[in-house]
Structure 1
Amino acid sequence: MTTRSGRERALRKATAKPLVDAKAISVHSQQLTRLVREGALERVARGTYRIVDRPMSEHQSFAIVSTIAPRSVICLLSALAFHEVGTQLPFEVWVAIERGTRPPRLQNPPVRVMRFSGDAFRSGIETHTIDGTRVRLYGIAKTIADLFKFRNRIGVDIAIEALRDAWQRRLVTIEEIDRYARVCRVQRVMQPYVEALVA
């Protein structure tokens, strides 16, 4: 049976951040299980917990995925939603992982895994803190280039909408778009759309 002081100590460690990695806080799994049964904690993924009465942020699903798979990068439609570009609101968290890396195993939130390699994976990564968790995601210009790269899966209309919106709101420059179009090898595909914007 957990003593009151043991329970309080476990709860204090678990409430240090909105999302808690069980290994990082050194609390015995039985104590965490009891706290879940009592309704103080909610298990969001294997080894990851959150405080029940703490409000969830808009992008908490990104923090959950980043806790489970810290080397993954939030990409494509999820990155667009984070940057508030376009009108897409995906129900899945779109993540990029490097080829040869194991995909994150999550049931909730649902995850759509995309495999990137080389500079296409490493370029354009920004780091943000969401709910106390370090989250890696692609910047706007890189996300737009990725949308054109995966236009057959996502739809060219979404890529064009994102490019127009970001350009009209002055969130990207031609130099940034060109740099990431080269990295993603979609310069020729993007060229007519970019020329139409600057004409």
Structure 2
Amino acid sequence: MEPYRKGTLAPPRLAPEDYKTEHDLVELFALAHEQGIVTTKEAGARWIPRLHLSTLVEAGYLERVGRGVYRFALWPWSTAERLDAAVALRPGGVFGLLTAAYLHGLLAHEPPAVWLCLEAGRRVPWVEGFALEVVHARGGVPEGDVEVVEAPEAPQARTALEAKKAHEAWKAHAAHEGPTAPIGRSGPARPPRTTRRGPRAARAYRVTSRARTVVDLFRFRRRVPEEVAVEAIRAYLEQGHDRAALERTASQHRARTLLSPHLRRYTT
């Protein structure tokens, strides 16, 4: 397989021995481009051998993020891709603390790491490409403290520019290299569906509720800077969220004394 050349976004130039190999590799390339994150489970569901994932990694089109999880390597990391990778590595996890606060709009800046709440006893996954902070909760996070939110999307201009660059790169690649059709197939090379990438559909993620998030930021004060927790509780109250729910959640987790000074300070 031809390795990735910097400045090109075209699918790899293949020289397969049979049609299925090329078809599987192009389909895997398209899947990774469209989703950003692809897993061995998803490849297996399409009857694509796992070996093809390693082939695309060696060619520079994919990079391994963790066990059984791969990422399309030609785009920069996005918030949604980091969240997707964390979910793929530990299904059933709940995003909490700084990540939940950012998704709820309680923090102005995206945290440098993804914060994930796991049930006590579950192993911390090996991750490469982004920082992952894990907090263990005995019995997991109760469903009453879990909400579903959507990740912020990439700007329309960025995704449109990506699609334009990919399409132009593919046309230049096809004009220079010629048709890439396997034996038994004729006609000019067609750009794959990945070159028509538009704004990705919003995806929903399980995160701790706003009240639980603010309380946890104070509870884990050894791992979370105090100014971050203060910013979150101020935003929570200024945005008009349920103060009673915050006080009730703080009492349930024995954190009322930690929040009381700030509740009095930001009384409306």
Give the match's secondary structure for 2:117.
Answer: strand
SS at match of 1:59: helix
Counterpart pick for 1:191 among 242, 260, 266: 260
Query: Considering only aligned residues, what root-mean-square deviation do their CA atoms show, in Å?
Result: 2.7
CA contact (8 A) 1:20 1:48 kept: yes
Distance 1:160 1:87 in 2: 13
- Which residues of structure 1 form unaligned runs of 5+? none
Query: If the length of structure 1 is used for normalisation, what is the TM-score?
Result: 0.82
TM-score by length of 2: 0.63
In structure 2, the partner of 1:29 is 50
Identity rate, percent: 25
TM-superposition CA deviations, 1:139-192 (whole Å, max 9, x none): 32211010111123323332122111121122x211221232133221232123
Is the aligned partner of 1:82 residue 2:71?
Answer: no
The structure with the greater share of residues assigned to strand is 1
Question: Secondary structure of 1:198's match?
Answer: coil
- Report if aligned partners of 2:64, 2:71 keep a CA contact under 8 Å in 1: yes
TM-aligned CA distance change 1:183 to 1:4, over 3 Å: farther
- Residue 31 of structure 1 deviates from its aligned partner by 1.5
The reply on whether 1:179 has 2:248 as its aligned counterpart is yes
Offset at residue 22 of structure 1 (A): 0.9
1:15-26 superposed matches below 5 A: 15-16=30-31, 17-26=35-44
Asked whether 1:3 is paired with 2:18, we answer yes
Correspondence for 2:82: 61
Relative to 1, partners in 2 of residues 1:28 and 1:188: Cα closer, same or farther, differing over 3 Å?
Answer: same
Partner in structure 1 of residue 228 of structure 2 = 158
Amino acid at match of 1:126: E
Q: Distance in 1 between matches of 2:248 and 2:71?
A: 39
Give the aligned length.
Answer: 197
- Classify 1:173/1:128 alpha carbon distance in 2 versus 1 (closer, same or farther; 3 Å): closer
User: Residues 117 and 136 of structure 2 are in contact (CA less than 8 Å); yes or no, is this contact kept in structure 1?
Assistant: yes
If you compute each CA radius of gyration, which structure gives the higher value, 1 or 2?
2
Give runs of ≥4 in structure 1 deviating > 6 Å. Answer: none
Q: CA deviation at 1:91?
A: 1.7
Contact 2:148/2:204 (8 A) holds in 1: yes
Q: 1:109 to 1:100 in 2, by over 3 A?
A: same
Give the structure 2 partner of residue 70 of structure 1. 91
Question: Residues of 2 paired with 1:146 and 1:67: CA distance?
Answer: 24
